[in-house]
Amino acid sequence: MEQYGRCVAASPASWQRDCHGLRLSISRCAAAHPIVQQIRRDCAGPFAAFEQCLKENEAAVTNCSDHVNAFLLCADRVKGSA
């Protein structure tokens, strides 16, 4: 996850292409974990908004900090109730 974050930060204009392999690895790894499955269900809305923001701000991902914060708050609530 940290490696993906560093990749995105290092490639602001091309992170979607440059970091695609790392994103797939994270997805495969996380897909089987029960808490991740619950977060995906319970936080689908905030995560979709974050992904849409990233698509619209490929060259300025820092514009999506409010979206990522909303998703992280949701995920923390899910983890706290687990």
Report pLDDT digits (tens) over 15-61.
Answer: 889 999 999 988 888 778 888 889 989 999 999 999 999 999 888 88
Same domain, 3 and 38: no
| Per-residue pLDDT reduced to its tens digit, 56-80 | 988 888 899 999 999 999 999 998 8
pLDDT at 45: 96
Would you say the C-alpha torsion 3, 23, 21, 28 has a positive or negative sign?
A: positive
Q: Do 22 and 51 fall within a single domain?
A: no
Same domain, yes or no: 27 and 4: yes
Euclidean distance between CA atoms 21 and 57, whole angstroms: 20
Nearest to 75 by CA among 40, 50, 48: 40
**Residue 82 predicted with pLDDT over 70:** no
Domain that holds residue 25: 1-32
Residues 81 and 43 in one domain: yes
Q: What is the pLDDT of residue 36?
A: 83
**Count of CB atoms situated within 10 Å of the CB of 64:** 19
Q: How many CB atoms sit inside 10 A of residue 67's CB?
A: 19
Asked whether the beta carbons of 82 and 39 are under 8 A apart, the reply is no
Number of structural domains (the chain) is 2
Looking at the structure, do residues 25 and 43 belong to the same domain, yes or no? no
Same domain, 26 and 50: no
Token output for 62: 């820092």
